[in-house]
Chain A
Amino acid sequence: MNKISIMIVGVGGQGTLLASRILGAAALKKGYDVKVSEVHGMSQRGGSVVTYVKLADKVYSPIVEKGEADIILAFEKLEALRWIDHLKKDGKLIVNDQRIDPMPVITGVAKYPENIIEKIKVNYPNTIAVDALQIAKSCGNLRTVNVVLIGVMAKSTDIEKEVWIETIKEVVPQKFVDVNIKAFEAGYNA
């Protein structure tokens, strides 16, 4: 069984926790040993958040460290840049082409870096950028950005599409199942 280390990074409130829960549950169905490390509390309030998901026959440390990630799923561009040194040289970055200004940029003491995705692509050619916010909008709910991105990532794992869909049905609240499946499909086919 492959050993896969995944990081989900973004801004507190973007729904990274739900994404990691779906990923963990799907991997479990596939028979992996799974560890998912989350951040709760203070950092969730609009701060930089990171969740680690590790799959293997046997996982010890739940943390993915520098240069170890096979996949980084970034919900925001600046967060992709912040954590890119955790990606393996041949690792895959899936980045949501969305910009959320952190407070130091809003107050004018720092500058939001220009052309982030282009710069990352030079160093990490295995980079896929998607406008997940636009896709989520077209699916009818802005809050499904997380599941759109899970859909994009799903193709890079050995977990079958049916397993993902089954997992989403189990993890998301009943009344949001349909819109989330739609979002997953849109991400999967993006």
Chain B
Amino acid sequence: MKKLMLGNEAVARGAYEAGVTVAAAYPGTPSTEVTETLATYDEVYCEWSPNEKVALETAIGASFAGARAICSMKHVGLNVAADPLFTASYTGVNGGLVIVVADDPGMHSSQNEQDSRFYARSSKVPMLEPADSQECRDFIKLAFEISEQFDTPVILRLTTRISHSRSLVEMEERIDYRLKEYRKDVAKYVMMPGMARKRHVEVEKRMALLREYSNTCGLNVIEWGSKDIGVIAGGIAYQYAREAFGNVSYLKIGMVYPLPDKLIAEFAKEVKTLYVIEELEPFIEDHVRKLGIKVIGKECLPVTGEYSSQLIKERILGIRQETSSFPDEPIPVRPPVMCPGCPHRGTFYVLKKLKLTVSGDIGCYTLGATPPTDSVDTCVCMGASVGMAHGMEKARGKEFGKKTVAIIGDSTFIHSGITGLINVVYNKSNSTVIILDNSITGMTGHQDNPTTGYTIKGEPTKQTDLVMLAKAIGIERVRVVDPYDLQEFEKVVREETEADEPSVIIAQRPCALLKRVKHGSPMKINVDKCRKCRRCLTIGCPSIANKGDRIEINDALCVGCGLCTKLCSFNAIEKAGEYNE
């Protein structure tokens, strides 16, 4: 049976068919649906781990214990999980172990555009890269076999356009995979210098075998067409190249590390002009050059952003797409915004009003950096807000610290903010950390986390108590407040930033998109009362529009949260009748 599946869903399907029984991940666009889909299979134990490092350690443990295990993350998540990755490369596996990493060329939903293929090379772990959903399903099954055959973790690399494109997938039944025997094996599983030195030698032997395998495994294939042009490409770049070049010859790369040296040489010998088409860094291209083969790549094509077939046509074949002069007027951009009813809106209104330096973090609330609630000063990586606020105070002193707060979501705090907070206490800064507790992992599309009290499968579990947690590590000032109570929230932020000791403010209000959050009827502006002072526009609600001569509330967008009514000095914002849905 053929089904239309996201690349991520197909990865999950393939892992399921391969007999995977343990899956761990931290959500991150564009990788999240791999684990969400796996969670729909009863036979697979699935979890949202607190971060990618814990997720990978969970998967490594499961592999040592004899199971086939999978661990998924976005590209920057692999930075967090890099520590276990490099040593798991030495230990090798027992049951098959596959790490799925999704890069985000073009940064649709990321803070950088790193190319994870370098991780494969530096950790000496083979990497496969599918070019559509069918290959996602096929390659991950093969990845488990490679993992066990060569005693190595395997990385499956995806990019946004593979993860989030749907195409047809042929499915099979799940294999009957039996747990492998677990045997204590200190020389293999305890990586102290004496053992690790021996394992490194094994890794190099393994790499030599894999370099041969890459030529013959069928993951890298030559498709002969006209030999005037030869194109080496894999993943989504192969699809763009196919459309741009048409009937030329292709060396389609499915195993991107180690690369198939013999195949590359054989292919290059036959074609007149050789191109490498790859998004981001010249990973394949540099390798081809190292083999002494003449090739054209990044001198024509960028290392930034996504590719397209038109880009390839234009830069390499010199074919320009006709452009129209219409539209000939500026088109306003439409950046993402906090949703109507978003609890963060209250927080940022107050932080902006108080003119604080705001050390920001990763989540929906990064949008607090954009007008009109533009109060966020920084965003670097998961958990960075806390460590950076601490560092700012150490650089500029206590008075600056009193004008500074860190803001971090509940899930991000658990991911890696907590270590920063322990540091704040231990190394004596006065930081004020505001945990934006919206009861869910929001930006990635609503995943549970240790603070929500539910597992990925929706089973009730123990709930991390943020108040007790903060107190246990030595924060004596912990306040819980609703950010929609603007007066109270402002008062609490003033008091805590003034205090001569560190404090935690838990801004508690659930995400407006949660099903259990009930909305009221939409609001409307009473034109007789409205004085057009525009104060309601300062909270950046997408449902309040400035129509020039009047202010209007869009009843199709407004969820009736009522935050705007608290700002209006003239009581001009009223409920607009009945509630639709």
CB < 8 Å: which of A25, A33, A48, A106 contacts B537? A106
Are A45's CB and B372's CB within 8 A? no
Distance to closest chain B CB from A188 (angstroms): 22
CB < 8 Å: which of B168, B326, B546 contacts A33? B168
In the assembled complex, the Cα of A42 lies from the Cα of B370 at a distance in Å of 13
In the assembled complex, the Cα of A48 lies from the Cα of B444 at a distance in Å of 17
Tell which of B44-52, B333-341, B484-492 binds the partner. Answer: B333-341
Are A106's CB and B240's CB within 8 A? no
Q: Counting CB contacts under 8 A, is A159 at the interface?
A: no
Chain A residues, CB < 8 A from B331: 78, 81-82, 113
Are B327's CB and A143's CB within 8 A? no
Are B321's CB and A28's CB within 8 A? no
Are A28's CB and B165's CB within 8 A? no
Chain B residues, CB < 8 A from A70: none
Contact with B along A60-104 (1 / 0, CB 8 A): 111101110000000000110110110000000000001011111
Distance to closest chain B CB from A136 (angstroms): 9
Are A123's CB and B326's CB within 8 A? yes
Main secondary structure of the interface of B (DSSP, over half): loop
Q: Counting CB contacts under 8 A, is A47 at the interface?
A: yes
Are A65's CB and B309's CB within 8 A? yes
Chain B residues, CB < 8 A from A38: 6, 164-166
A41 with B332, Cβ < 8 A, contacts A34-B168, A46-B339 known: no
Are A46's CB and B327's CB within 8 A? no
Are A24's CB and B109's CB within 8 A? no
A40 with B332, Cβ < 8 A, contacts A34-B168, A45-B339, A62-B239 known: no
Tell me the chain A residues, 108-145 only, with Cβ under 8 Å from chain B.
108-113, 119, 123, 133, 137, 141-143
Q: How many A-B residue pairs have CB under 8 A?
A: 184
Tell me the chain A residues, 18-58 only, with Cβ under 8 Å from chain B.
21, 24-25, 28, 33-48
In the assembled complex, the Cα of A168 lies from the Cα of B411 at a distance in Å of 35
In the assembled complex, the Cα of A142 lies from the Cα of B580 at a distance in Å of 7
In the assembled complex, the Cα of A21 lies from the Cα of B5 at a distance in Å of 10
Q: Counting CB contacts under 8 A, is B273 at the interface?
A: no
CB < 8 Å: which of B132, B167, B370 contacts A103? B370
Are A61's CB and B242's CB within 8 A? yes
Are B165's CB and A36's CB within 8 A? yes
Chain A residues, CB < 8 A from B334: 11, 46-48, 78-79, 82, 102-103
Chain B residues, CB < 8 A from A103: 334-335, 337, 370-372, 540, 542
Question: How many residues on the A side are at the interface (Cβ–Cβ under 8 A)?
Answer: 59
In the assembled complex, the Cα of A43 lies from the Cα of B337 at a distance in Å of 9
CB < 8 Å: which of A28, A45, A63, A141 contacts B4? A28
In the assembled complex, the Cα of A82 lies from the Cα of B335 at a distance in Å of 13
Q: Counting CB contacts under 8 A, is B469 at the interface?
A: no
Are B542's CB and A106's CB within 8 A? yes
Chain A residues, CB < 8 A from B108: 39, 41-43
CB < 8 Å: which of B322, B338, B554 contacts A45? B338
In the assembled complex, the Cα of A39 lies from the Cα of B310 at a distance in Å of 20
Are A37's CB and B336's CB within 8 A? no
In the assembled complex, the Cα of A38 lies from the Cα of B167 at a distance in Å of 11
Across the interface, name the chain B residue whose C-beta is closest to A39.
B108
A47 with B335, Cβ < 8 A, contacts A62-B161, A62-B167, A142-B581 known: yes
Q: Counting CB contacts under 8 A, is B367 at the interface?
A: yes
Chain A residues, CB < 8 A from B149: none
Chain B residues, CB < 8 A from A13: 339
Chain A residues, CB < 8 A from B109: 40-43
Chain A residues, CB < 8 A from B364: 45
Are A107's CB and B167's CB within 8 A? no
Are A100's CB and B239's CB within 8 A? no
Across the interface, name the chain B residue whose C-beta is closest to A12.
B336
In the assembled complex, the Cα of A25 lies from the Cα of B336 at a distance in Å of 28
Q: Counting CB contacts under 8 A, is B443 at the interface?
A: yes
Are A45's CB and B367's CB within 8 A? yes
A62 with B339, Cβ < 8 A, contacts A48-B334, A78-B331, A78-B332 known: no
Q: Counting CB contacts under 8 A, is B368 at the interface?
A: no
Chain A residues, CB < 8 A from B87: none
Are A112's CB and B332's CB within 8 A? yes
In the assembled complex, the Cα of A21 lies from the Cα of B166 at a distance in Å of 9
Are A41's CB and B4's CB within 8 A? no
Complex A-B: 25 CB contacts under 8 Å? A28-B168, A36-B165, A38-B166, A40-B164, A40-B445, A41-B445, A42-B443, A45-B336, A46-B336, A46-B542, A59-B167, A61-B236, A61-B308, A65-B321, A78-B332, A82-B331, A100-B542, A102-B332, A106-B544, A107-B546, A111-B332, A113-B329, A123-B324, A133-B556, A143-B581
List A residues at the B interface (Cβ < 8 Å).
11-13, 21, 24-25, 28, 33-48, 59-63, 65-67, 78-79, 81-82, 84-85, 98, 100-113, 119, 123, 133, 137, 141-143
A34-B4, A141-B581 given; name 16 further pairs at CB < 8 Å. A34-B166, A35-B166, A36-B167, A45-B338, A46-B542, A61-B308, A61-B309, A62-B167, A62-B239, A65-B321, A81-B331, A101-B542, A101-B545, A103-B372, A107-B540, A112-B332
4 nearest A-B residue pairs (beta carbon): A41-B109, A41-B29, A47-B336, A110-B332
List B residues at the A interface (Cβ < 8 Å).
2, 4, 6, 29-30, 32-33, 108-109, 132, 161, 164-168, 236, 239-240, 242-243, 308-310, 321-324, 326-327, 329-339, 364, 367, 370-372, 443-445, 537, 540, 542, 544-546, 554, 556-557, 580-581
